[in-house]
Structure 1
Amino acid sequence: MPWFAKIEEGIVEKPIFDQYVEAHKAYVRDLNAKGHQAKTGYWAGAAGGMLLFQAASIEEARAIVEADPLVVNHCVKYVLYEWRVVVE
């Protein structure tokens, strides 16, 4: 399956953002249970973060991102990329 990266930037104050972090983490755990090999995190010393995951297509990747609680609750803006692995 292809890899995808959602590069995100928070657009709400931290107390609002933090209300949805546990739901986001649960969502990522569910993606892993479904075989998407998802990883989520934030940049050390900088704003924003990334969700890296596998999906069958760009359409499935968009649907996955749009269902993320951080997106559903308008906490982040993001750009979605297909990441083409060159060396494993």
Structure 2
Amino acid sequence: MPWFVKIEAGLVDKPTFDQYVPAHTAYVKALIDKGHKAKTGYWAQRGGGMMLFEAASMDEAQAIVAADPLVVNGCVSYQLHEWRIVIE
């Protein structure tokens, strides 16, 4: 399966963002359980982060990102890219 990366920038204050972190964490764990090999984290300087995951197509990747609680609740803006691995 192709890899995709969602690069995100925060849109809300930290207390608002933190309200949705547990739902986001549960969502990513569910993606892992479904075989998407998801990984997520934030930049050391805060203000954004990324999620790396596998999906069958760009359409599926867009649906996965659209359902992320951080996106649903307007906490982040994002860019979504298919990532072509050259060397492993």
TM-score (norm 1): 0.97
Q: Give the corresponding residue for 2:66.
A: 66
> Matched residue pairs, number?
88
TM-score (norm 2): 0.97
**Offset, 1:46:** 4.2
Q: Give the corresponding residue for 1:16.
A: 16
Q: CA RMSD in A?
A: 0.7
CA distance in 2, matches of 1:87, 1:46: 29
**Offset, 1:47:** 2.1
CA distance in 2, matches of 1:47, 1:12: 9
CA distance in 1, matches of 2:47, 2:13: 12
CA distance in 2, matches of 1:53, 1:39: 6
Q: Give the corresponding residue for 1:41.
A: 41
5+ residue gaps in structure 1? none
Q: Give the corresponding residue for 1:52.
A: 52
5+ residue gaps in structure 2? none
Question: What is the percentage of aligned positions where both structures have the same residue?
Answer: 69
Which secondary structure does the structure 1 equivalent of 2:60 belong to? helix
**Runs of 4+ displaced beyond 4 Å:** none
Provide, for residues 6-41 of structure 1, a one-character-per-residue CA deviation record: whole Å limited to 9, x for no partner: 000010111110000010000000000000000000
CA distance in 2, matches of 1:13, 1:22: 16
CA distance in 1, matches of 2:87, 2:10: 31
Are 1:86 and 2:81 an aligned pair?
no
